[in-house]
Amino acid sequence: MSQSESSPVYKRVILKLSGEALREVGSQDNISPEIVERIASEIRAAKDAGDVEIGVVVGGGNFWRGASASARGMDRPTADYVGMMATVMNALALQGALEAEGVECVVQSAIEMRNVAEPFVRRKASRHLAAGTVVIFAAGTGNPFFSTDTTAALRASEMGADVVMKATMVDGVYDSDPKKNPDAVRYDTIDYQTCIREELKVMDSTAFSLCMDNHIPIVVFDLGKNGNITKALGGENIGTVVE
């Protein structure tokens, strides 16, 4: 599915936010209230602009990265569970900001913690989305060794989403790291197999494979530019489409 200005608004979207995106560059604070408020404002604007159902998967890298902790000697499953807890903190911060914007929102956690979040139940999550409630999916898949990118692909498959919106700190998929190579070329569209074969580190191979098997396109766009979440959720062509 390619995108153009005449494309209809997606009906059901999974928005993937990295944990690092919630932190101000150079700040010692793990979460920037201003950044979270901007993201919430743009999600509200997208909902106001069209009949779009939005699920959100948020990472935890601003607090903890399980793979990095494992590389320093920590047991990998334990390190990954700590990372899952980090995603819950980010989800609750985003929930608070969305509610302050007047957006009905619920957090569903893959690890049960009823005092702060609903347990993840696929049918209930789908009903929330159909009713116009934003669902934030926290705690990853609930299993170690799986990234939150894979979580986004899995939840998109389970929810029957039309697209995964991957919000990053670059404006699309490049043939090499644009921060290191000034001659890096950005793709407007690219296929899943090329991303996997060329090891383009936008998402991990498991996430790409899940989306490919379930025919779910991925739109990679720049989160740092004001208004881009609204544009992406509205179907505007502002990044790279993986399909």
- Point out the annotated binding site for ATP: 16-19, 61, 65, 168, 174, 177
Spatial CA neighbour of 163 closest among 242, 239, 230: 242
> Per the annotation, where are the binding residues for UMP?
60, 80, 141-148
Rounded to whole angstroms, the Cα distance separating 221 from 218 reads 10
Rounded to whole angstroms, the Cα distance separating 147 from 139 reads 10
Spatial CA neighbour of 232 closest among 60, 14, 18, 38: 14
Rounded to whole angstroms, the Cα distance separating 154 from 205 reads 13
Spatial CA neighbour of 216 closest among 8, 7, 11: 11
- Which helix (H) or strand (E) is 47 found in, with range? helix 33-49
> Per the annotation, where are the binding residues?
16-19, 60-61, 65, 80, 141-148, 168, 174, 177
